[in-house]
Amino acid sequence: MRYFARKVAFFLATLWAVVTLNFLIPRLQPGDPAEIMVKRLAGKDSQLDPAQVQAMRAMLGTPDGSLWSQYTGYLGELAHGNFGLSYTYYPFPVTEVIGQAIWWTVVLVVVTQVLSFAVGTVLGAYAAWRRNTRFDSVVTLGSTFLGTLQPFWIALLLIYLLGYTLGWFPTSGGYEAATPGFNGPFIQEAVSHSFLPALALLVVTPIGWVLGMRNTMIMNLGEDYIRLARAKGLPDRRIALGYAARNALLPSVTGFALALGGVLGGAILVETAFDYPGLGRLMGEAVENKDYPLLQTLMLLTTAGVLLANLVADLMYGVLDPRARRAQS
């Protein structure tokens, strides 16, 4: 029980630190969201009127007073689930803005993460089992090369080739004229609009799983229990899947849990390139417009998701592997 209590206490302490940093970081950035909105409404070259800026601050509910009073007020609002109004999408609440975008990101990123994990793990395991062969060389060198590419660059390339040149897929947005809901036309449009963003992510996201699984499995293939299994005459398939791959999969499962925890952060550059209506694009807009409430909520969702996934992975390790509990007792 000491192991689990320590993990939960560490999670709570880290979550408090995250909430504090989430409050401080946006306020340390230069710029005033009220001034940004006044310039947007009046024109970039117009002279700023202090009265207009002050009125905009009052309308947006921009925090004022000492930093400590803002911090205590922020914690109080957070405890009541009140995340404020979005400056960018005023007068809509932050929760409503995020609620409309979150499912776009969840579907896009979760699907690509699951496919990337499955494909990368299988390729990495087979490359390790067939190490020093042509297949291993192609997978390893190809993964290393693709790992140097940026998803944003791949997104622009896909937009040019498959969008503008060939015209096979739409290049921006999440849907066109269909009524949002669980109906055939909307689902068809949503799938066609999400194909290119998903493809841009699928080109690079399996790379880490491929190389990680391959390297871990090669290390496991040199362990004594693998030699014993060979000496007992077990079939190669059983040794590869039931012994080497099974043990090599544990670190990948932890990484997969953390990757799913970071889903709420979205894919900022890819979503921005395709003007995809997800959380990544919202994050970029919040940074650009100094939208403190929206930015803080998105950062909190992302970090809390990663921390929660890390906690679940640690607790699962404690249940599945007693050595982890004894090592920290």
pLDDT digits (tens, 9 = 90+) for 211-230: 888 888 887 777 777 777 77
pLDDT digits (tens, 9 = 90+) for 316-329: 666 655 555 555 55
For 315-327, b where at least 16 C-beta lie within 10 A, e where not — what string? eebbeeeeebeee
What is the pLDDT, as a whole number, of residue 31? 62
pLDDT digits (tens, 9 = 90+) for 38-90: 666 666 666 666 776 667 666 655 556 667 777 887 788 778 777 777 877 87
pTM over 0.95: no
pLDDT digits (tens, 9 = 90+) for 182-198: 777 777 888 888 888 88
What is the pLDDT, as a whole number, of residue 184? 73
What is the pLDDT, as a whole number, of residue 272? 78
DSSP states of 3-21? HHHHHHHHHHHHHHHHHHH
Q: How far is CA 66 from the centre of its chain?
A: 33
| Alpha carbons 174 and 271: distance in angstroms, whole number | 10
The domains of the chain are located at: 2-79, 99-321
What is the pLDDT, as a whole number, of residue 199? 85
What is the pLDDT, as a whole number, of residue 130? 80
pLDDT above 90 covers what percent of the chain? Answer: 0
Task: Write down the CATH number for the domain with range 99-321.
Answer: 1.10.3720.10
What is the pLDDT, as a whole number, of residue 30? 64
Q: Which of 256, 317, 217 is nearest to 110 (CA)?
A: 256
pLDDT digits (tens, 9 = 90+) for 98-146: 888 888 888 887 788 888 888 888 888 888 878 888 888 888 888 878 7
Both tokens assigned to 44: 């970039």
List, as own/partner pairs, every contact residues 82-87 make where C-beta atoms lie below 8 angstroms and the sequence separation is at least 24, other chains included: 83/293, 83/296, 83/297, 84/292, 84/293, 85/60, 85/61, 85/293, 86/291, 86/293, 86/294, 87/33, 87/37, 87/60, 87/289, 87/290, 87/291, 87/292, 87/293, 87/294
Using an 8 Å Cβ cutoff, are 274 and 18 in contact?
no
